[in-house]
Amino acid sequence: MTGETQQRSTPAPKPKPKPRRRARLIAGGAAIALALTGIGSGFAMAAGGGLAPPPVNPATVHLASAVPDRVILTPSETPATSQHVSWRTSTDVVTPQAQFAPLTDGPITAWTTIDATSTQEFATDLKYTIAYHTATMTSLTPDSSYVYRVGDGQTWSEWFEFRTAASAAAPFSFIVQGDAQNDVKSYASRAFRAAFEARPYAKAVVHLGDLIDTDVADAEWGEWFSAAGYQNAYMNVIATPGNHEYYPGPQLTRYWGAQFEYPKNGPADTEAIAATFSENTYYVDFQGVRFVSLNASQVNGADLAAQTTWLDRVLTENPNKWTVVSFHQPIFSVTSGRDNATIRNAWLPLFESHDVDLVLQGHDHAYGRGNLFANEENLPAGADAETSHTGPVYLVTVAGPKMYVPDDPANNNWINNDANLRAMNRDTQMFQTVDVTDDEIHLESRDVTGALFDAFTITKTDDGVKLVTDETEGRESGPGSGRGDGSAPERPTPVVPGATTPPTTPPTTPPATTPPPTTPPTTPPTTQPPTTPPTANPGPLELGAAGVAAGGSLPMKGSGFLPNEDLEVSLHSDPIVLGFPTADSSGAFTYTAHIPAGATPGAHTIVVRGLESGATAEAPITILAVGAPSTGVRDLANTGTAWVGTGIAIAGGALLLGLAGLLIARRLRFRKEGDA
């Protein structure tokens, strides 16, 4: 190698290739593929829901800590001398305890400390673990007020108050709340709080099931407690389970036994029966009233027989003057063509023969109140059947925002079963206040604004002469209006049927006052334009087979219902209810129904009804003999909008991958040409 710099010859650079038609096609095809993939994904998401996540993670909002929350009172078997309290913490708490003392007018300086009697721990759907603790305060004085708090010896709740039941019959008030279920914190809270405002010293609240929508949702239970605020810690909560405490189930929600401590005096014919009804079917004797909770979601075969036998015994042995029975699915349905014939046939004769006073129910997301037509005959002297009756009062109510369509007043489940629907309301959140005194029960149904919608009074003598009378005016007070009934305004004297000269209370005239002058507002108030509610327009109902054997399963799908609407699937023309699916956020649903083995072979119709809109979709189905193979089988997974969207997305993805391969191959070819 010489000292001269050796120059390496470098080939002249090739001209940069101009875009060819193929490249342009590839680029355009890639854009189309991306668009198809996005559109297809959009279709698939729309069909499956695709709701935006909440602005704050529910796990952040509802995470448990050592600070007690969800504090709740539930009645014991001896509510005059003992009191259950339950609360929630994180699993970091290992020494749960409660402290209580007689009510004072200042700071508490002495108290009794007790350990929790039980603790249940379980993981939540929000990926954290919680612990529920229960303590029972005992050796209490009847009809006396106490303060209490719960904690672990270092971290405590605030001091709450409660008052024990009297040892014998005495005046008191309680509250009734129907289904809360959806948007509980946003909407049902109004009903909870309006009722508490009406009777701030009520001793109990009766909940009629479907407290929440999804049994395992810790956030929903958190909202239920948040909606009630400190009310649950001040008065006894008497709750009965609904079908949504079993949804998606199939067992009763684990939250029930963890946070509700109820008397274990329900049906116990066998170990299985005792386990099924433990702390959800029970009774409590409270200050002259026997409260009975039934489980209308467990009414098949032996379960129904066990409850019915137990109910007959509990009503027969009732030592109290008054009886209040609560359960979820009603004897007489108000809405959407429902018919709970199974429980009506089993329980209605017992309610009538034992002359139960109040039968309180939910489930129908509307309001209804009435009685058997037979109880409008042979009334006491002076009573009018237009406004009076004897026998039980049947009442259905709703506290939350979900509403269903009531049936035709001239042709409904009440009239068709010899009952008079005296009062009916729809699309209204309601609550009830109930005042119990020596000779009467007075009930008022109000909406969340406090406006009176319906009222009646049950009067009963000690020898059982009873009359129920409609009222047109509400009462501004009751036993639950003041502490210990001492500061309550004067109440009207009850009218007892059969009395020769009913006592009267002279009206009082308020002093004349001069109203202050009013100044009209300078700026007119603004109003929001009315919104048009969504309407349902169901499309064709698709079935997974043209014929299916009795005892078999039938997939189905549909669309066009209201977003998140509850649906009822039934087999006609019997009809037989097959289930209650829920539409997604787009109004679509998929469901697999089980055809009862006892269904009659032959031509039938599957009918899907929207329980809020009343809209229906139907399709013919042939029921075959037990064990027969299905006919006309269809793959529903490959039909409908969801499949179209998914297919488009898959096709777009495949096209995108193919085009990407072409681009890579083209680049490799150019690189080889450059290295040549």
Gap between the Cα atoms of 64 and 411, Å rounded: 50
Residue 613's pLDDT is 85
What CA–CA distances, in Å, run from 504 to 125, 387, 460, 509, 633? 59, 20, 17, 16, 74
pTM of the shown model: 0.74
Q: Quick one: fold of 542-636?
A: Immunoglobulin-like (2.60.40)
Contact 611, 566 (CB under 8 A): yes
Rounded Cα distance between 430 and 453, Å, is: 9
Among 3.60.21.10, 3.40.50.11890, 3.90.600.10, 3.30.460.80, name the CATH number for the domain at 168-485.
Answer: 3.60.21.10
Task: Output the pLDDT for position 580.
Answer: 84
Residue 467 has a CB neighbour count (10 Å cut-off) of 21
CA angle at 253 for the pair 247 and 257, rounded to the nearest 5°: 160
Q: How many CA atoms lie within 13 A of 324 on its CB side?
A: 30
**Which amino acid does the sequence have at 387?**
T
Rounded Cα distance, 444 and 175, in Å: 10
Write down the pLDDT at residue 483.
Answer: 79
Predicted confidence at residue 524, as pLDDT, reads 46
Which portions of the chain are predicted below pLDDT 70? Answer: 1-54, 484-533, 574, 638-676
Contact present, 367 and 445 (Cβ < 8 Å): yes
**Sequence-ordered strand ranges (E) for 382-519:** 388-389, 393-396, 419-425, 430-436, 440-447, 452-460, 466-471
Residues 6+ apart with CB under 8 A from 556: 541, 542, 543, 544, 569, 590, 591, 592, 593, 606, 608, 619, 636
